[in-house]
Amino acid sequence: MTSRQTRPRDRADRGIPEATVARLPVYLRALSSLQERGVATVSSEELAAAAGVNSAKLRKDLSHLGSYGTRGVGYEVEYLVYQISRELGLTQDWAVAIIGVGNLGRALAGYGGFASRGFRVAGLLDADEGIVGQEISGMTVVTIDRLEDVIAEGGVSIAVIATPAGAAQGVCDRVVAAGVTSVLNFAPVVLSVPEGVDVRKVDLSIELQILAFHEQRKAGGPGDYEPLTSGGTPPGPTQYVEAVAEA
Amino acid sequence: MTSRQTRPRDRADRGIPEATVARLPVYLRALSSLQERGVATVSSEELAAAAGVNSAKLRKDLSHLGSYGTRGVGYEVEYLVYQISRELGLTQDWAVAIIGVGNLGRALAGYGGFASRGFRVAGLLDADEGIVGQEISGMTVVTIDRLEDVIAEGGVSIAVIATPAGAAQGVCDRVVAAGVTSVLNFAPVVLSVPEGVDVRKVDLSIELQILAFHEQRKAGGPGDYEPLTSGGTPPGPTQYVEAVAEA
DNA sequence: AAGCCTTTGTGAATACGCGCACAAAGTCAC
DNA sequence: GTGACTTTGTGCGCGTATTCACAAAGGCTT
């Protein structure tokens, strides 16, 4: 799961609910796919199926952008693509800096989904001098020392943090000080940022843990194992791992 | 953002709300960090701050697991770590197969957060014969032809799909047929699966698009650009890209 | 042992999101 | 031009999530 850390409330948001915003990219993807197949018009029912959502929800989401459908017919694919892109701000291009060029940073640098949506990688930065200077996906890795320069010169407004956990907060502080107001964080830490800065987090192991929870449920649930002290107070310094084996 | 595709409703869930489940891994991470620093006891206020949530929410979340706190004192870190781990099913270990060993698959294979949470990578698979046989993070990449074998022999119950979009649904069908009931999908497509199978999706470009939306808002919003035909009906086959330049 | 102080656990109020179901609006056939 | 049919846009009710605020519970000091 990913979560927003900042802006718990902000309903001067031009009225578009956060839940809707989160789904617009999904609709956009489905629409692009239809467009490639030469489909000109689509009904809410069809598009909803392609996006994996309820059709009433889809219509309500789209209604927040304005009335772009034709009753009895559906939505014009190309027009809708444009309207959603515009609403999401994808008609302008965004410069992003990727900080941390480990395995994940490399994967991100080569990810095609960025360029195709108007995101331009303005810099790859790393602290490891062994990596600095390497060529990754056609870009040369720059030393972290030049972070502020890269942000200023590239007009970077979004930073992607793919560093180890320990380095993330420090990097975050620096990019924010350099004027970045949106951060996509892959490091497994909760970043703290000043008011007005948006942070979104992607955490691979959290997703797996949520799946494990449901998987366990299907298999019978943790109820198989009784609570240690039935009902009661936390015991002293016990090895809880042993307790599992014992049950 | 990541989203659940299946199980829109399932309130025989032992009563633990989905929103709570999604936060438990975050608490667990914060607690582990405290544990490393040798902290024995933590108040809901402190832990909530570390996890980036409201303290009342934290307490209510934890109350769903039972009463593991001591009034006037707080929660015993080690005990809470154990209880959350147990609830999430992390006290047993889970075998996962990673399908698709591109940049992202490689990053996932080397991700330390898996092993430390009880997730064991039982196989790396790819369709590209040029990659099959390579050694990645101490594992040999196996051909996708042996997918069913790897799943059966490794006792895999969770599949991680990191293939190109076009291959994802096919791979998904195969892993489900082979008995996998939880799928973590990194491919930019909506997977369709039978009832009873959980799918979670992680989409890097969606996260960026959501950030772009908020970033645009801060900068003045898309209202700068007027709707094309003010108020009205979708026009014919126009180049909307031009329309932006014109505004 | 009594009282003060801290912190939990939860009732109650509020906000939010979802999906049904239907009226309004438009198309298409004849 | 008229009527039947399709599909949008949305009012409404329901369940879930979030937050506040406080009583109950326990520890600690004297």
Strand C atom within 7 Å of A179 CB: no
- What is the rounded distance in angstroms from the CA atom of residue A68 to the CA atom of residue B21? 37
Look up residue B102 and give its DSSP letter.
S
| pLDDT number for residue A228 | 38
- What is the rounded distance in angstroms from the CA atom of residue B70 to the CA atom of residue A221? 26
Distance B110 CA to C25 C1' (A): 56
With bands split at pLDDT 50, 70 and 90, how would you rate the model's confidence at B9?
Answer: very low
Mutation site for B-interface testing, chosen from A85, A169, A210 by largest number of B Cβ within 10 Å: A210
| pLDDT number for residue A159 | 98
Using the CA of B54, which nucleotide's C1' is the nearest one?
D19
Quick: pLDDT tens for B103-112: 899 999 988 8
Give the residue nearest to nucleotide D25 (CA to C1'). B71
Inter-chain Cβ pairs, chain A and chain B, closer than 8 A: 253
CB B132 within 8 A of CB B157: no
**Mean pLDDT score, B156-171:** 97
Task: Give the residues of chain A that fall short of pLDDT 70.
Answer: 1-14, 221-247
Q: Do B21 and A104 touch (CB under 8 A)?
A: no
- What is the rounded distance in angstroms from the CA atom of residue B241 to the CA atom of residue B33? 49
Neighbours of B191 (CB within 10 A): 20
Segment holding A217, helix H or strand E: helix A204-218
Quick: pLDDT tens for A116-154: 888 999 999 999 999 999 999 999 999 999 999 999 999
Chain B nearest-CA distance from A240, in A, is 6
**Mean pLDDT score, B43-65:** 97
With bands split at pLDDT 50, 70 and 90, how would you rate the model's confidence at B219?
Answer: confident
**Mean pLDDT score, B2-7:** 41
Option in A1, A79, A244 nearest B91 (CB): A244
| pLDDT number for residue A229 | 35
Mean pLDDT taken over chain B? 86
| pLDDT number for residue A231 | 34
| pLDDT number for residue A114 | 85
Quick: pLDDT tens for A160-187: 999 999 999 999 999 999 999 999 999 9
Give the residue nearest to nucleotide C18 (CA to C1'). A57
Please provide the DSSP assignment of B63-96 as one string. HTT---EETTTEEEHHHHHHHHHHHHTTTS-EEE
| pLDDT number for residue A220 | 77
Q: By mean pLDDT, which of A11-20, B24-33, B115-124 is the weakest?
A: A11-20
Strand C atom within 7 Å of A54 CB: yes
Which residues of B11-55 form beta strands (DSSP E)?
41-42
Quick: pLDDT tens for B78-94: 999 999 999 999 999 89
* A22 vs B contacts (CB less than 8 Å): 1, 3, 206, 210
Distance B65 CA to D25 C1' (A): 19
- What is the rounded distance in angstroms from the CA atom of residue A200 to the CA atom of residue B1? 8
| pLDDT number for residue B222 | 64
| pLDDT number for residue B115 | 84
**Mean pLDDT score, B62-67:** 93
| pLDDT number for residue A14 | 60
Give the residue nearest to nucleotide D17 (CA to C1'). B19
**Mean pLDDT score, B222-243:** 39
With bands split at pLDDT 50, 70 and 90, how would you rate the model's confidence at B7?
Answer: very low
Chain B nearest-CA distance from A108, in A, is 8
Strand partners, B94: B119
| The pLDDT of residue B13 is above 60 | no
Model pTM score: 0.87
Q: Do B88 and A213 touch (CB under 8 A)?
A: yes
Residue A133 CA from chain centroid, whole number: 28
